[in-house]
């Protein structure tokens, strides 16, 4: 119930996402998230998903939830490093809507 109430509530003018968390070791998968730069504003979530789904991604994010417009960047999540490595090798530097995109791993700083 709390998830439904808190999900998409605006915090500092932007909607937040609330998901379930687990500490069950069998549900903890090692995965990788990628950052995609230089996206054309016309690239939709579906287009981004379709481009990266051949490598078995499970989540994409590239549009502003309020306006539906592209942000110019996006995130892709994978449940394993083999798939994310294959996506980087195949798609980094390729053109999507006439713009060369850059695909890289997300760098997480200590303390996050």
pLDDT digit string (tens) for 78-94? 888 888 899 999 999 99
Q: With 0-12 CB in 10 A as exposed, 13-18 as middle and 19+ as buried, what is 92?
A: middle
Topology at the third CATH level for domain 33-105: Alpha-Beta Plaits (3.30.70)
pLDDT band at 9 (very low <50, low <70, confident <90, very high): confident
Q: Domain-by-domain residue ranges, the chain?
A: 33-105
Closest to 74 measured CA to CA, from 63, 65, 85 = 63
Residue 5's pLDDT is what? 65
More confident residue, 87 or 67: 87
| C-beta of residue 78 within 8 angstroms of C-beta of residue 90 | no
Residue 88's pLDDT is what? 93
- Encoded tokens for 82: 């083999």
User: pTM for this one?
Assistant: 0.63
């Amino acid at each position: 119930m709390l998830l439904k109430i808190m999900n998409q509530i605006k915090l500092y003018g932007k909607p937040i996402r609330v998901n379930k968390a687990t500490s069950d070791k069998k549900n903890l998968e090692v995965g990788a998230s990628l950052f995609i730069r230089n996206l054309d504003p016309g690239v939709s979530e579906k287009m981004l998903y379709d481009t990266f789904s051949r490598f078995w991604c499970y989540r994409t994010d590239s549009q502003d939830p309020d306006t539906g417009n592209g942000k110019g960047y996006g995130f892709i999540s994978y449940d394993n490093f083999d798939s994310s490595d294959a996506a980087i090798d195949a798609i980094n530097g390729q053109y999507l809507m006439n713009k060369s995109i850059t695909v890289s791993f997300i760098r997480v700083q200590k303390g996050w």
